[in-house]
């Protein structure tokens, strides 16, 4: 297996996507924030001093996806056609963030979806750190990708979750 971002001299380089086909590409990523139950309640009830945490985090995640190539050196700038950022309470202490990015292009949007989740998570942390410095951002991963030469990929469900 060779890495596409390494040239024949072993140096980092941007992949040439000029000859690739333009296809509809979609990627979904997620992450989980673990916090105190009182913090999640304050988020849900819009009781934090900085304002509506999830509304701000959603916009931050969208901005993060749009700025991915400014943050990750070898990513191509993409004209994203859609970015969504959604939140779901998994328990009284866990908030899941799921981002989906779409583009018609020559390269995938996995990094944009992962960046959206990361920036949205960091924004929740920033807006809540005054009441809960012990929050943990974790489990950021790609859930699914569609389009391009490799086609459709879906993260396998761990055996522990399949029951």
The per-residue DSSP string of 7-64 comes to -TTS-B-----TTSPPEEEEEEEEEEEE--HHHHHHHHTT-STT--HHHHHHHHHHHH
49-65 pLDDT, tens digit per residue, is 999 999 999 999 999 99
| From the candidate CATH numbers 3.30.479.30, 3.30.70.640, 3.90.550.10, 3.40.710.10, the one assigned to the domain spanning 23-147 | 3.30.70.640
pLDDT at 77 over 70: yes
Would you name the residues annotated as active-site residues? 126
Domain boundaries, the chain: 23-147
> Taking the model in full, what pTM does it have?
0.91
Share of the chain above pLDDT 90, in %: 79
Residue 149 confidence class, pLDDT cut points 50, 70, 90:
confident
C-alpha 29: how far from chain center: 5
Q: Give me the chain's average pLDDT, please.
A: 93
List of residues 6+ apart from 121 with CB closer than 8 A:
31, 33, 57, 97, 137, 140
H-helix or E-strand spanning residue 124: helix 110-128
115-127 pLDDT, tens digit per residue, is 999 999 999 999 9
pLDDT at 2: 63
Q: Counting Cβ atoms within 10 Å, is residue 17 exposed (0-12), middle (13-18) or buried (19+)? A: middle
78-111 pLDDT, tens digit per residue, is 999 999 999 999 999 999 999 999 999 999 999 9
């Amino acid at each position: 297996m060779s890495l596409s971002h390494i040239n024949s001299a072993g140096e980092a380089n941007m992949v040439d996507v000029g000859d690739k086909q333009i296809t509809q590409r979609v990627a979904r990523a997620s992450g989980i924030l673990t916090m105190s139950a009182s913090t999640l309640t304050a988020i849900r009830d819009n009781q934090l001093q900085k304002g509506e945490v999830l509304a701000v985090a959603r916009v931050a995640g969208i901005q993060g996806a749009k700025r991915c190539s400014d943050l990750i050196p070898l990513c191509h700038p993409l004209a994203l056609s859609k970015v969504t950022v959604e939140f779901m309470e998994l328990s009284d202490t866990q908030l899941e963030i799921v981002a989906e990015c779409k583009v018609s292009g020559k390269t995938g949007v996995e990094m944009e979806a992962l960046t959206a989740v990361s920036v949205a998570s960091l924004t929740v942390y920033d807006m809540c750190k005054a009441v809960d410095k012990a929050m943990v951002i974790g489990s950021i991963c790609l859930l699914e990708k569609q389009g391009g030469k490799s086609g459709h990929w879906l993260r396998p469900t761990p055996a522990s979750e399949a029951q």
